[in-house]
Structures are given as C-alpha cells and as structure tokens.
Structure 1
Amino acid sequence: MLGTSLAATAVVAAPDDGGGDRVQQYREKTQVVFVKAPTRAQRNRVIALGLDATEHATTKGIEVVLYGDRDAATLRRAGFTWDVRVADLEAQTRANARKNQRYAARVAESPLPSGRTTYRRLSDYQSELTELANKYPTLTKPITLSKRTVLGKRIRGIEITRNADTVQDGKPTFVMLGAHHAREWPSAEHSMEFAYDLLQGYRLGKARNREILSNERIIIVPIVNVDGFQISRQAPVLGEDYSAFNYEMKRKNCRISQFTPEEERGGTCEDNPAGRLRGTDLNRNYPGFWGGNGAATNWRQDTYRGDAPSSEPEVRAIRKLISDRAVTVMITNHTYSNLVLRVPSIAATGKSPDEVEYKALGDSMAEANSYTSQASYQLYDTSGSTEDWSYWNTGGFGFTFEIGPDTFHPDYQAGVVAEYLGVAPADGAGKGGNREAYYRAAEAAMTNRLHSRIKGNAPAGYTLQVRKRFISQTSDVIDAAGNEGRPRYYQDTLTTRYISDGGSFTMHVNPSTRPVVVGRYGRDPVAPPQEPADLTNPQGVPAVGGSETSTFEIQGPPAADNGTATLSFKWPNGADWDYQILDPAGEPIASAATLDNPEVATIPDPVPGTYTVEAVNYEGGSAEDDWTGEVTFQSPEPATYTGLKEAWTLTCENRRGKIISTREVIVDRGEIFRAGDACAPGIGAVAAKR
C-alpha cells in the first residue's frame, strides 16, 4: 500500500508550508501531553499552532497529541511547557484493544440495550439500522440524508416516533448525531444505543418512553463522517508507527483541498501521500461564524475548516436535515473530556439570549453524567461548529457531548458500557450516565416553554407550512497569515410542514426571530457590585513546589450583584508564583499560572460563597518576595436586545397544491400563535399569547 510504504522509510517528509506538517522519525513515540495554558488566549494560541489538539481542556491548559520531536519543538518555540499524560499512545491503543478482546471473550452479552460487547464497524451500523426498522415498523422510519459523502456513500439514520411514516405531523424533533470526527468511535456507539433504548423501553411499556415517542420525533444519525469513520475503524494497528500514516487517528473527512499540492493528490483516502491529514474537519465547516478563531487555515492541520463555509456534502446534509424539521434540541456526540458544551463557541459572539434556559438544560444533563456543563468558548474558541450554526440560525438548543475522560476510543467496557449506563468507572456512576442525560434532552425537546407553537384549524388533507429564507454572514475570515478579512455570506431556508387530518392542529416550531437577530444575553444588575477586598496571605512561605491557601467571600443579592470577580496577585522580586482558585464546592474555577507579574484570574458570574486561593511557590518565592493580592468586582453587563422581530411565513395549500392562504407569524419562545382558521383566504396575523 502507498501509505505503508511511505511510513516504512526512516523519515516521513512533506513540504514545509508552515502548516504544522508531521515530519518525524516514524519510531518516535506518540504522546498525549497537557500543555500549560491557563488562559483562554493561551489555549487559543496552542490551537493556532496547528498541532493535533484534543477536545480536552480545562482552566489550566489543553491536551495535545505530539507525533514526535517535530511537534514538541513547535510547542517549545512557542514558549509552552507541558506534562506528559500518555507517554506512549501506541502502547495505550494496543492495551485497550487487548482489553476489548478479553471483554468480548468473557461476556456473551453486555448490559447495553443492544447487548454489544465490541465496537461496531460501518457494516454493523448499517445492518442494525435495518434490523431496528424491520423489528419496529410502526415506530421507525429509515432515513437517508439528502447528500452523499465525498466518496459517494450514503449517510443513514433512523427516525423514531409513534406512526413514524407520518412525517409531517407537527411534532417537535430531537436530533442526535455521532462521529463528525472519524476517530471518535464512542460518539457513534452512544448514539446507536439510545435508538435501542427508546424502542425497547416503548415495547416494554415504560411510561417515559411512551410519552416521548408519542409527543416528538427522534432522529438519530450515528455516523456523519461515514468515509472517515470507515477508514479509522478498519485501519490496521501499525505497531511502532503512529505517524500521519496511521489512519486509526484520522479525524477529518476525505476532501482533497484545492490547496493540496499536485504531488499529494494521488492515492485513495485510506492510502495517500498526505496520510490521515487529507480532509476537512466537519465540525469546523458549518457556516455559522465559519472562518474565525479556533479553526485551521492550512489543509494539513487536523482542524482545517475547509476551502469554503459548508463546502462539505456531509455538512450540507446535516444542515438540510435540521432546516427541514422543527429541531428543538440537538446533541452532537464527540470524545473526549467529560463535557456538556453549549454556545457560544467563540467568546466574541457573546452569550445567547436564552442563556438562562440553555444553561439550565446543560446543567441538568451534566447532573446525570457528572460531566462539566459550560459554554464552549470557556475552553477555547471554536468556529464553524455544528451547534453554533444550528442554534443561532434556527433557535433550537444545540449541545456537544465530549464522552469519556481521557482517550478517543477507550476500552469498550469503560468508554461505552460504563459511560452510557452510568456505572463504574464512569464519573456518572449511580446517576444515570449518558443514557439519563439523553432522556432529559429528549424530554426538553417536547417541553412547550422551550420552543414555540402554532395552533388553529384546517380542513383534512390541507398542508400547512411555515417557512423562512434568510442570508447570514460568517466570522471575519482569518487568512493564512492570521489577518482578519471580510466575512462571507450564506443562505438558509427553514421549513416545517404539517398535513391536517381535519379540525384543530398544533405545529411545534422554533421561535420566529432567530437568536442571532435577537441580540446577546446580559442581565440588569439588581444591586451594586461588591467592594474590593485584599486577599490574606497566610504567615510563612511554602518551600519551592509547595503551596498555601487563603479564602475570601463573594456576596450575592441583595447585598451585591457581581458580574465578574477579578483576582490580581503581585510580588516585588524575581520569583514566580502560580495560583488556582476553587469555588465554594471545591472545584477549580480559574487559575493564574503565566510568567506575568501581576498574575490575574477572572471568575465570570460568580456564585455567592467562600472561595479558596491556592498559591504555589513555583520558583524562588521567599519572605522577601512574598505575594499580595486583591479581588475586585464588576457589575454584570446589562441585557442588550435589538428589539427586532422576524416572522415565519405560514401558508395553507389545498389538496391540489394551490396556496390559498398566507400570513405572517411572529411567535417567541414559550408562546403560542393563534392562527384561527389557518386556511381562510387572505392575509393576516394574530398576536401570540402565552
């Protein structure tokens, strides 16, 4: 094979175009390292280096895969230091494979809904989707998305609800997606298991399942990146080689960028001169805020955004799916980091106008799996992500799940069985795990206060449609040199259809005014901010490498209303102190561990309570250069809304397909538009009522 023969040489080389290529000795160990980057700006800098950054980041730094000394040198030149988390990724992968073999050998049937004991291959997903459709014919509808992959494969899924063939029934829709990134195998497994769960529970008469399947539609697409997943899942373990030619670590799809040199265009996607680096990162290709921070501009990099917004057929297929349904909640599954992420994905976007409800739903799901619930930008900026397009343009709540704590495809028992069911060793053991989190998302999808409704009357066989077409803009597009240019523009058309069975009807839709038009979330302060306070430095100085702690109080209403708390630490001489701040529950919430003096840490929207500062004598701290600190408080930013309203266009077609009525519908989240006789000739509007 082409890739294998190239990988067998002493050095695998590619033209040095500044894009972070993977020139390396093939026998170098591949490592996963935790890069010390305690600020979001520093984590963004790590992403911009073009290395293979994982989704695992905290307030202290971010994990990166280093494929040899060349990658390590890139980090050193940028001034970063790191701790090694996985010293030999190849060895870890082989060890996990052996665990999988032992588990499958000793367990005939796992406690998963499907009973699976090993990771599926593409053919398994395809056959099981067919089997579920055949076994539950009235509860399922097999679906094939509107676009094929780059290599011409079908993207398949399943639609689950009572009377599944009656698609245009006005129900709200919950969409679950897996494997945008090829190497993230658990993301597809968890998606597939939820399909089994829903159907088996309904058959067994479980009230929860019957309520969900009676009142909403669930669409599950376990593998979005079909080409890449098949290559990753079928890749042979190449022993000592974990270079660009180990396709098991492929992240992207199979697109050959227009910027690919001629000499690297040959071969097939699973065997080509660029190896696994060929392709586009689908989760950086969605047009919402495409081209901004957090996506690579160079085609070689793992987070390459693509040649244009929504350039990839897989992305256009998901956009079409979501645009043609009233998708009120969406989850896209990934690995890894034990996170439930919500918008915004870019800090400059500002919080969503639905932040209160959005965060509450994320927190509820994270309660079940013991993941961290937070806005995506709190890790680092990410442009072109799935939910950043879907939420801001359709109004449906979108989340990213980062499944599992520490690897892309962990051993099956831990990464799939335990994480899905919520049993040891998963963090969500005893709380329900991802299974319970998914059920909560499904219940939210049919919760009336979280979306909108249109009610009225229509004759049997008449078709009602709500529709909206609009133009949106991407981010200011960053070029290869890091300069911001003009945004690009793209078009979306949202449509929901309902065929009346006569008499009254209810159509579940998202709010008529898109969140990107509504504005950005803030809140009007209900009290002044807290007065500044000095931080107490305890007596004595810890030895180098040691630490000491101090506490301080943050007040809440009615005494004070704090939008942010800013901690500043300084010392007189040449030492280096680092700081970590723990919230009232003892969890890390911020850190200050740069080379700066003063060190600064910021806590957004702090909850009232007692906070702890841990001061680490990183280098040279003594009585002569001991630290002092201060905490200051700022009011929350007031709410800013545009006041603009958008309308759905509601039409009624008779049985011959002729439009006999058109009207505008303006309806907010949680409200009802009373359409009356929706098919009465003429144009009109009725105010929305709660």
Structure 2
Amino acid sequence: MRLIPRGRRATTAAAASTLVLALALGSQAMASPAPDAPTETAESSAAAQTPRQYQVSGLSSPEERTELARAGAAIDEVHGDSVVITADRSEAERLRALGYELAELPSALDDDPTAAAPADYHTYEETLAAVDAAVAEHPDLVSSQVIGESYQGTGIVAVKISDNVGVDEDEPEVLFTHNQHAREHLTVEMALYTLEELTSQYGSDPEITELLDTREVWLIPSANPDGKTYDTESGSFRNWRKNRQPNSGSSAVGTDLNRNWDYEWGCCGGSSGSPGSETYRGPSPESAPETVVIADFVRGRVVDGEQQITAHIDFHTYSELVLWPYGFTYDETAPGLTQDDADAFEALGVAMADTNGYTPQQSSDLYITDGTINDWLWADQGIFSYTFEMYPTSSLEGGFYPPGSVIDRETSRNREAVLMLMEYADCVYRIIGAEAEYCSA
C-alpha cells in the first residue's frame, strides 16, 4: 500500500493528504471472497441483509486494512487506528468470527431532523423531467436518448450537449457518468448541475461557449436507476449500493456495477465473489445489464476505427478524491499504461484537484480494485478516465447522505474541474507538453 504521492505528483497534493484527518474511501471499497464465506440463504432475514456502517478497531496499517477488505468488507473511511465499513449484519458477524472488533454506528439519519431525506434529491423520474425540460428549452444544444434498459426495464438515458447537437461532428467527446452506486445521490445532482451550467451559460460565458463549439459532451445522469429508486422509495434511505439484479442460487440481490467491467475482472483480490458482499462482481464480466448498456454505448462511439470519447469522469461519493488508473495493480505503469500515460493522468488529475480541493492519487494508492470503469475505459478504449469522489470526507458530515443544503455548493465546486477536463479533451498529453508526439494531425 502506498498512500504517499509518487513520481512527479505535485507537492500540494502531498500537503493536502497530510491535512486529511480521515481519508474516506467511499466507492473504492473492495473485497475478495473469504474462503469460509457462507452463502446467503432464503432464510436470511431482511434485517440481516440491511447494510449498516460499522467501526472496526485495532487497524493501523495499510496491510491490516487490506486484509480486512480481502475478508469481504467494503471500506468507507480510514482513521488512524480504525476504519468505517459498510456491511449487513450477517457479514458483520462473519467478520467478528474472524477476530475483528466491530461496533455498529448509529445512523445520523435516524436521529437528526436536519439530516438528509430522500426529498432533498431528485428522483429518477424528476431527473428525466429535468432532462426533458432542458431539451425543450435548448433544442439546438441538448438532445437525449434511451441507450438501453436496466435489469428492471428502466430506461437509461444519455444526454448530449453541443453547439450543433443534431449532427455527429468530428470533435473530441467527453463523457460524464454518475450513480453507478445507488446510494450516491449527490452524483445525480452533479449531472443536473453540469447540464444547467453548460446550457444556461452558452452564448454568454466565453469559455463554455468555446468548449461547446468544439466539443461534444455526453452525460449519463444515472447508471443505476433501479438501485437509486430502491434506495429512496420507502421514504427513508436504505443504504443500498448495488443494482437490483437477483443472484442465482442466493437470496442476496445485486451486483456492484463498478466491479463488473470487462478488464482484469476479478483478477487481483479487488472485488468479491460472494453474492452477499457489497462489492460482489457478478458471475461474469458485464453480467449486469446496466454495465452492458454503458459499455455498448461507449463502444458505439468508435467511428471509422477511432474512439470519439477521449476523456471521462465517473462521479461517486464520498471522500473528496480525484482518482485515476490503474486500480488493479499498485504499479504506476503496467501493460497498456506507459510512463507518459501515467504522467498525463497524474498531471491532469492534480490540476483538477487544485480547483476543487480534493486529494489526487492513483486509485491503487488506496488499495486494489478490479473490474472498474476507469481501468476498462483506459485499457480497452484508450479514454482518459477519472473517478471523482465528491463531498463529504467522512460519515460525520453526512457520509453517503449529506443534507440538501450542500447540493448547490458541492456540485458547483466541480465546475472548474469539469471545464478543465473538457478543455484538455482534444489532447490530454498537452498537459505534459507531449502533444507533438501524441496528438499531431
């Protein structure tokens, strides 16, 4: 485990890291199946399958935390000598049986009347209504299309924003994806903020106008609409992470979409093979319909043998991090990722983090993850792909459910980073001065 910035990483990033008292790892949590992990049965109670957060004490080193993750825990936060994990009660008991000290944490949502409520966030139907309104108000700038269906048959929508939206122009394309993990509702608000900012400022803001005149932007507001709806439909949050696809031979439901991508899937202890795990990778790569829909959409942007999408951010919560590939290996370079590639990833990641105050680092500086969207987009499609872990930094500030009062502040906080990614989409290598080598006509 290496949490210290390496290579040419800016010293500001290292300073920021030392100031963080608790590094929340959010959706980067990983697990690998424990040899003795019991299979979920039909007799499992609903309570046992309800994810909760637990504090695990007595862990002070990266190696100890990695072993906990390998035992099947989804790590949300890291402190000096403890971590916070998400697990259902049966998983928690299994971890206790392995010798870990777990204490269930009270949920602020149960007690605090100022805490977040589902009504603070757009439902999926409201999200689609906002998209439709943008299309109606800006028909020359915005279009939308259903690119496929979720497991439960819900349409997954992609939104296009460009100056000549009805024409597939030969311009760099930028993709923003959101809400792979159901409970991360702030990311959907991020999509709606980006849509509103780009459309409302086109023609008046010179930077946005120039970018939309020379780029094509794609937004997928929710990659996991079934999970998003399930997490909120009861009127209170369910702390649900995965999709809603049943798992054959188990009463456990759901696949972790961000462990289901078809690159180094299940290769390296960076996901779980147990259906009850929060990081269950599915029975095979792209076994989740939602993963297939987005992967097929990306593959469909190859025109005349060239991938049109050049840059991407996958928005998650929480942690306040900017992450880049690879996640499956601790090495900075690996097959398909040269030193120049790594330098370009790092330079742009650090520059974007300078605009929003997040901590920038290679994904595996946290610990190993496999089957992730970032690794697949880069290794399979050659797209510079980042993960942004949004606000907050810990469960004490709301965790996966910050109050609605922070939505405007925390989405607009990423404005400059979004515009920077769009700016460099023509040639990310330009940020390291290597455009002549990689991007000449």
Q: How far apart, in 1, do the equivalents of 2:281 and 2:113 lie?
A: 31
Structure 1 equivalent of residue 200 of structure 2: 200
The Cα shift of 1:670 comes to 2.3
Among 120, 123, 127, the residue aligned to 1:121: 123
Among 273, 281, 288, the residue aligned to 1:312: 288
Query: What code does the residue aligned with 2:323 have?
Result: L
3-state DSSP class of the match of 1:347? coil
Given that residues 40 and 378 in structure 1 are in contact (C-alpha distance below 8 angstroms), is that contact kept between their aligned partners in structure 2?
Answer: no
Closer/same/farther in 2, CA of residues 448 and 229 from structure 1, 3 Å limit: closer
Among 412, 415, 419, the residue aligned to 2:410: 419
Among 17, 30, 38, the residue aligned to 1:18: 38
The Cα shift of 1:40 comes to 3.9
Structure 1 segments unaligned to the other structure (5+ residues):
1-15, 105-116, 238-246, 265-273, 422-432, 452-510, 512-666, 673-690
Task: Please give the residue correspondences for 1:112-511 in structure 2 after superposition, counting only pairs within 5 Å.
Answer: 118-145=120-147, 147-167=148-168, 169-203=169-203, 205-237=204-236, 248-260=238-250, 264=251, 274=252, 278-292=253-267, 293-325=269-301, 326-347=308-329, 350-351=332-333, 352-353=337-338, 354-404=341-391, 405-406=393-394, 407-414=399-406, 416-421=407-412, 433-447=413-427, 449-450=429-430
Larger helix fraction of residues? 2
The Cα shift of 1:338 comes to 1.0
Query: What code does the residue aligned with 1:336 have?
Result: Y
Q: How many residues align?
A: 383
Q: What RMSD in Å do the two structures reach over aligned CA positions?
A: 2.9
Q: After superposition, what is the alpha-carbon deviation per residue over 1:373-392, rounded to whole angstroms, capped at 9, x for unaligned?
A: 01111111111100110011
Q: How far apart, in 1, do the equivalents of 2:58 and 2:356 lie?
A: 27
Query: What code does the residue aligned with 1:53 have?
Result: I
Task: Please give the residue correspondences for 1:537-556 in structure 2 after superposition, counting only pairs within 5 Å.
Answer: none
Given that residues 97 and 411 in structure 1 are in contact (C-alpha distance below 8 angstroms), is that contact kept between their aligned partners in structure 2?
Answer: no
Structure 2 equivalent of residue 49 of structure 1: 71
Query: What code does the residue aligned with 1:255 have?
Result: Q
Q: How far apart, in 2, do the equivalents of 1:312 and 1:668 lie?
A: 39
Structure 1 equivalent of residue 26 of structure 2: none
3-state DSSP class of the match of 1:125? helix
Task: Please give the residue correspondences for 1:506-521 in structure 2 after superposition, counting only pairs within 5 Å.
Answer: none
Given that residues 234 and 248 in structure 1 are in contact (C-alpha distance below 8 angstroms), is that contact kept between their aligned partners in structure 2?
Answer: no
Given that residues 160 and 216 in structure 2 are in contact (C-alpha distance below 8 angstroms), is that contact kept between their aligned partners in structure 1?
Answer: yes
Q: How far apart, in 2, do the equivalents of 1:434 and 1:671 lie?
A: 30
3-state DSSP class of the match of 1:155? strand
Q: How far apart, in 1, do the equivalents of 2:124 and 2:110 lie?
A: 21
- Report the TM-score, using the length of structure 1 for normalisation: 0.52
Q: How far apart, in 2, do the equivalents of 1:40 and 1:31 lie?
A: 20
Structure 1 equivalent of residue 24 of structure 2: none
Query: What code does the residue aligned with 1:259 have?
Result: G
Structure 2 equivalent of residue 490 of structure 1: none
Given that residues 52 and 88 in structure 2 are in contact (C-alpha distance below 8 angstroms), is that contact kept between their aligned partners in structure 1?
Answer: yes
Q: After superposition, what is the alpha-carbon deviation per residue over 1:280-302, rounded to whole angstroms, capped at 9, x for unaligned?
A: 11000001110121211011111
Q: After superposition, what is the alpha-carbon deviation per residue over 1:639-684, rounded to whole angstroms, capped at 9, x for unaligned?
A: xxxxxxxxxxxxxxxxxxxxxxxxxxxx963232xxxxxxxxxxxx
Q: How far apart, in 1, do the equivalents of 2:363 and 2:40 lie?
A: 24
The Cα shift of 1:323 comes to 2.0
Larger Rg: 1
Given that residues 20 and 51 in structure 1 are in contact (C-alpha distance below 8 angstroms), is that contact kept between their aligned partners in structure 2?
Answer: no
3-state DSSP class of the match of 2:361? strand
Given that residues 258 and 307 in structure 1 are in contact (C-alpha distance below 8 angstroms), is that contact kept between their aligned partners in structure 2?
Answer: no
The Cα shift of 1:311 comes to 1.2
The Cα shift of 1:77 comes to 4.1
Given that residues 178 and 222 in structure 2 are in contact (C-alpha distance below 8 angstroms), is that contact kept between their aligned partners in structure 1?
Answer: yes
Q: How far apart, in 1, do the equivalents of 2:217 and 2:112 lie?
A: 33
Given that residues 20 and 49 in structure 1 are in contact (C-alpha distance below 8 angstroms), is that contact kept between their aligned partners in structure 2?
Answer: no
Query: What code does the residue aligned with 1:190 have?
Result: M
Structure 2 equivalent of residue 88 of structure 1: 106
Larger RCO: Structure 1 or Structure 2 (Cα < 8 Å, ≥ 6 residues apart)?
2
The Cα shift of 1:99 comes to 4.4
The Cα shift of 1:370 comes to 1.1
The Cα shift of 1:39 comes to 4.1
Q: How far apart, in 1, do the equivalents of 2:136 and 2:196 lie?
A: 13
